[in-house]
Chains A and B, each alone.
Chain A
Amino acid sequence: MDTSPPAPKAISIAILAMGGEGGGVLADWLIDMAERAGRHVQATSVPGVAQRTGATIYYVEIFPGGADAGRAPVLALMPMPGDVDIVIASELMEAGRAVQRGLVTPSRTTLIASTNRVYSMTERTAMADGRVDSEKLIEGARTAARTLLAADYAKIAEESGSVISAALFGALAASGRLPFPRSAFEDAIRRGGLGVEASLRAFSHAHEAASGITAGAAPGEPATTFPRLPAEQREAIERMPDVARETIVAGCARLLDYQDTAYTKLYLRRLATFDPSNEPLLAEVARCLALWMAYEDIARVADLKIRRSRFARVAEEVRLGEDQVLRIREFLHPRPQEIADALPAGISGWLLRSSLLRRLTAKGRIVETTSVSGFLLLYLAASLRKIRRRSLRYAVEQARIEAWLAEITAAAPKQPALAMAIAECQQLVKGYGDTHARGIANFETVMSALPRLKGTIDAAERLSKLRQAALADDSGGKLNTAMAELAP
């Protein structure tokens, strides 16, 4: 241990934020508070081009001694790994970055981390789920720091109608690492003069959260309400094994919402062909089958857009005030094929041959669902649900589903893992228009490898790799490479 006599030393604070997140405001409050208390304080940053949404660091040092005339401390302009008292991260990955940069040390650092996520470009642009593991970030932060004050400060700020800097400032006050009373923090916010009341609210709530006074309530999972199904279907569901049952209930609910009880009957009949003892497979097939059977077509989209519950959801999402009026406009661009798909084969064939559809769909349309005419247009489109079974698309999709199920059924007895991998390939079939066409093409490419894989030991693993390759880029490059490698 250090044996030298205790010498006055600057308190070092690093703030990791993203451009435009108010890291500068936080630093300004700190400066103001420290200077009011007669302390030497120095702050600097390297904002530069990082102001445009990039990661950036603000660094503040506060010298605990009073301002001696003529004897100014020498304060550093950048954090020294191993020598940082407080790290404030406005977002969870930024907290991870602070750890990565060595700014957080177990002997010394109090880490104030907001657990909200602002997803990186890599995470957002993934074709499936590219998000990193938040739990690992939190665990690493906990291990690396002396004290971790983690909470969703962004949410606290939002609920208080303020910005995250105010919430983080509250957590900093609660940390007790600065030689200033709570009132000094609050006075700094008041002197700042912008959105004072809301900032103080966020400050106070975050102070409580960081002090461990309020435990964040765990978000309750909305349970799927049991759909209104005929008795024999309900009994069929009851007979299903426990693990898969919840998914099957959700699947039935989806398909009832999508079509009718005859459709849920078809769903349950398809599931009944699977061996109930392989519960994980049954559950996965139940999930994927429901998604595939509820394929997105014009009727479905229109149906979902015009519901009362959807209007309410939008109002909530845009935080509609009581005396405000909301208008919702949809951006729709169906392709001729998609319109034809929704109609009986005879009509659609004629429509596709004529130029009418092409002219109608040359440009995207903006339809106002909150207007009477726009609503009725979509209401009409939604009613195509009634003739869905006679549509071109219905026949095509059911044939694809049957073929897919047949492959799973065939593989299940001997190669259960492969059966699972085949089931999971449904993930590739999604989207609309070009995206859907690309998904189907990828699905078919991957499935075309099946004959070569069957009977091999690592068939499931290799099929999964192909599926992942198809999701790796949207040009199909990775999948082509993977397929080429597969060739004998």
Chain B
Amino acid sequence: MAERSFKKEAEKLRLGAGAEFHGEGILAVTKALLQSGVAYVAGYQGAPISHLMDVLTDSAEVLKDLGVHFEHSASEATAAATLAASVNYPLRGAVTFKSTVGTNVASDALANLASSGVQGGALIIVGEDYGEGSSIMQERSHAFAMKSQIWLMDPRPNLPSIVKAVETGFELSEASQTPVMLELRIRACHVHGRFIASDNVRPDFTLKQAMENPVRDTNRIVLPPASYLHEKEKIEKRWPAAVKFIQERGLNEFFAEDAADIGIILQGGMYNTVARALELLGLADAYGESRVPLYVLNVTYPLVDAELRRFCAGKRAVLMVEEGQPDFLEQALHAILRRADLQTKVHGKDVLPMAGEYTGDAVLRGLRRFLDQAAPLLLPAVLPSGAAEPGQPKAPAVAAAEAQVHPRPPSFCTGCPERPIFTAMKLVERELGPHHVSCDIGCHLFSILPPFNIGASTMGYGLGWAGAAALNAKDSAKRTISVMGDGGFWHNGLASGVGNAVFNQTDNVLVIVDNNYTAATGGQDLMSSKAENPLRKTQNSIENAVRGVGVNWIKSITHTYSVGQMRDVLKEALTTPVKGPKVVIAQSECMLNKQRRVKPMMRQAVKDGKRVVRERFGVDHDTCTGDHSCIRLSGCPSLSVKDNPDPLRKDPVATVLDSCVGCGLCGEVSHAAVLCPSFYRAEIISNPTWVDRLAAGLRRWVIGFFQNRIDRRLGVSA
């Protein structure tokens, strides 16, 4: 089960017409899907759209009532291929994933889908993971829309607009027989807002009807000659149909169109930021009433030439606010105006940054520069402080404070079972020297950061072992190590990594990090999850799968915290004379999810008067010498430093914070690395039995006798 429960949110999905929905943007999308009569939904989780998947998982009842089929797809490619149901049948379908990484994976299916064309509305909801908080390469989904001719919606980031985009997105798709991509940025996915709900709609054509009345149309299959027809159809029929629909339904919005002889053209998603920048410049009020004409592209592909010509005609200059690069929209605008022989000057990336997120700051500065050049009289006499150019000297105290700020990248959580795997790799490195390490996508990629500094490359989800494929020289004395999570393994790594290694007779090592969930995306279940899942078939063994594709050397470790064992297995894998691929499966439950599961249970048990043992670690400050080797081999957030209480020592001592979950790594590390005797494990027994009490009393009596002797020597009154 996912790390967050959405049972409460699931109830909101039942809201009827007129009721006000309050909640997150991505949940509004989910509600809008049900209001649109969607027949099936599929997807692959990943920030920022994980919550869409999670809330649907927790909404099994609602979906059942409406007859909506919901799948956790094996990958984004699977999700995209699922939309094939809308090719032959009037079924509305939606899929969702993180973009551009998910779109990369999905693009084979998406290209086929877009070529075939659709009968039922097909909506691809992508969470655009771009800018602050992003965890992936910085690219645009826009390019995928253009290359496959999929319409791209980028609605204004408020809930009514987003909901409307979902609903009209299906209609646009059906009107133009083209799949539609709905792009939502991270902040829009997580924005809390409200909208007036409509009733949910049961799909009027069902999956059952489709299965019982199969349809076949060779013209909808991507194979010559149909594939050539598809391309013509795209240009001659589907494109004009889409443009017509967008115009007729007014999907793009004009504000204060004739208020001035300059204007701003913007992606819908940029609207709130632009409106705020205008407000700060005194050119709009808090309600968005602008004195500068705005043309808001809620559909950024295709562009509607006629609307652009209309907006630009009679304007001296326009600013294109287009986040990300390449500047597809700006280039297109130039071409459209050139063809129409309109002399409106186009600004865009000349005053705004070419690359990077369009933050409030960036837009405000860009807007100021644009107005400086195009309409200086509109600018207020006194600019808001944020609009000032950088470079003003800072107060010394402020500069001194800023120098104290360290970056704080994400890291393994307290008690994470993946940490000891890299601790063990560090210890192996001490003995055998460094190895080439090929990384994958998942929490385990934090190994590339301090304190581990392990890993040379990452090539994508499930591609950890594929990323080391070339480094397969038969005459090398050293082997490579690849890392792959259970998520990446089932996503594609079994074939692309393990199968490939078997087939190409590699001699290298793969470590599969199996933590029972796709932990990095929010703890969703997957093929090999240990938990019983009423909706899915879990508990499929990774080891069996690996053996099934032909790996013979497999070692499974079911307790990754045993650093010594982990180290020995890794060493063996790297040095054994046995030829062929070597796979180490390191299995322990994700601690974040485990704590969410176990903590309430423990609390309840204590309340019920049951005997409960809580473990946590500690450091004796008087034996700690402040070298912090233990932290360099762990980096656990609960293992920190504090002032040395010893008046003679200056260096801070290690300390274990109360957030410690007693995973045991500290003790294992001090044993395996022969560190120091400062660590202790405390076992705190709540509701002790009479045996516990009696034993404790006896021990206290014996030990007390000797402790009195020590106290006498030390001159402490006993």
Contacts and interface: CB of A to CB of B under 8 A. Distances in A.
A18 to B, nearest CB: 7
Nearest to A105: B385
A375 interface: yes
Nearest to A8: B286
Interface string B437-477: 00000010010011100000000000000000000000000
A125 to B, nearest CB: 5
B360 A41 contact: no
B617 to A, nearest CB: 9
Contact of B676 (A306, A323, A382, A432): A432
A51 B187 CA distance: 15
Contact of A329 (B286, B674, B681): B681
B214 interface: no
Interface in B394-424: 395, 397-413
A82 B385 contact: yes
Interface stretch (A131-139, A170-178, A352-360, A409-417): A131-139
B699 interface: yes
Contacts of A19: 410
Nearest to B192: A43
Nearest to A63: B286
B714 interface: yes
Interface in B660-686: 666-667, 670-677, 679-686
B620 interface: yes
Contacts of A301: 623, 677
A319 B658 contact: yes
A309 B410 contact: no
B170 to A, nearest CB: 25
A79 B403 CA distance: 22
A10 interface: yes
A74 to B, nearest CB: 4
Nearest to A56: B133
Interface in B165-208: 186-188, 190-193
B297 to A, nearest CB: 17
Interface in B669-716: 670-677, 679-688, 692-693, 696, 698-699, 702-704, 706-707, 710-711, 714-716
A121 interface: yes
Contact of B699 (A54, A63, A370, A382): A370
A439 B626 CA distance: 12
Contact of A314 (B387, B637, B680): B680
A364 B672 contact: yes
Nearest to B710: A307
B390 to A, nearest CB: 9
Nearest to B361: A81
B134 interface: yes
Nearest to A68: B287
A86 B628 CA distance: 37
A151 interface: no
Given A42-B191, A107-B385, A296 B623 contact: yes
Interface in A364-383: 364, 366, 369-372, 375-376, 379, 382
Contacts of B698: 372
**Which of A74, A126, A296, A303 gathers the greatest number of chain B CB atoms within 10 Å?**
A74
A296 B702 CA distance: 27
B377 to A, nearest CB: 16
B651 A427 contact: yes
A42 B405 contact: no
A26 to B, nearest CB: 13
B630 to A, nearest CB: 10
B677 A9 contact: no
Interface stretch (B257-265, B489-497, B642-650): B642-650
Interface string A192-230: 000000000000000000000000000000101001100
Interface residues of A, number: 142
Interface in A239-284: 246-247, 250-251, 254, 257
Nearest to B682: A318
Nearest to B657: A118
Nearest to A131: B652
A275 B65 CA distance: 91
A51 B673 CA distance: 30
A81 B671 contact: no
Given A140-B400, A326-B682, A333-B674, A78 B273 contact: yes
Contacts of B131: 46
A403 interface: no
A430 B287 CA distance: 65
B157 interface: yes
A99 B640 CA distance: 25
B411 A121 contact: yes
A127 B629 CA distance: 7
B129 A48 contact: yes
Nearest to A45: B190
A358 to B, nearest CB: 13
B373 to A, nearest CB: 22
Given A63-B286, A333-B674, A80 B364 contact: yes
A143 interface: yes
B187 A77 contact: yes
B397 A54 contact: no
Nearest to B160: A72
A168 interface: no
Given A80-B280, A317-B618, A474-B629, A53 B670 contact: no
Interface residues of B, number: 128
A388 to B, nearest CB: 14
Interface in B279-310: 279-280, 282, 285-288
B186 A48 contact: yes
B192 A42 contact: yes
Interface string B508-542: 00000000000010000000000000000000000
A333 B682 contact: no
A54 B191 contact: no
A100 B400 CA distance: 10
**Which of B190, B193, B443 gathers the greatest number of chain A CB atoms within 10 Å?**
B190
Contact of B398 (A51, A140, A431): A140
A216 B361 CA distance: 38
B405 A372 contact: no
A52 B410 contact: yes
B386 interface: yes
A44 B680 contact: no
Contact of B693 (A1, A94, A131, A325): A325
Given A124-B640, A254-B648, A44 B629 contact: no
Contact of A126 (B186, B412, B628, B645): B628
Given A74-B275, A93-B404, A136-B401, A304 B620 contact: yes
Nearest to B674: A433
Contacts of B716: 308-309
A97 B677 contact: no
Contact of B641 (A119, A250, A300): A119
Interface string B215-248: 0000000000000000000000000000000000
Given A48-B135, A100-B405, A107-B385, A9 B286 contact: yes
B715 A228 contact: yes
Contacts of A82: 384-388
Given A129-B651, A227-B715, 6 more contacts: A9-B279, A47-B47, A119-B640, A132-B405, A363-B671, A435-B627
Interface of A: 1-2, 4, 7-10, 18-20, 27, 31, 35, 41-57, 63, 71-83, 93-94, 96-97, 99-100, 102, 105, 107-108, 118-129, 131-133, 136-144, 222, 224, 227-228, 246-247, 250-251, 254, 257, 287, 290-291, 296, 300-301, 303-311, 314, 317-321, 323-335, 363-364, 366, 369-372, 375-376, 379, 382, 427, 430-435, 439, 474
22 contacts: A4-B282, A8-B286, A53-B637, A83-B280, A121-B408, A121-B450, A124-B631, A139-B401, A143-B395, A224-B647, A246-B647, A254-B648, A304-B622, A318-B616, A318-B684, A324-B686, A325-B684, A330-B677, A331-B677, A372-B699, A434-B674, A435-B676
Closest 9 CB pairs of A and B: A140-B401, A46-B133, A364-B671, A82-B386, A54-B410, A80-B360, A82-B385, A430-B625, A132-B404
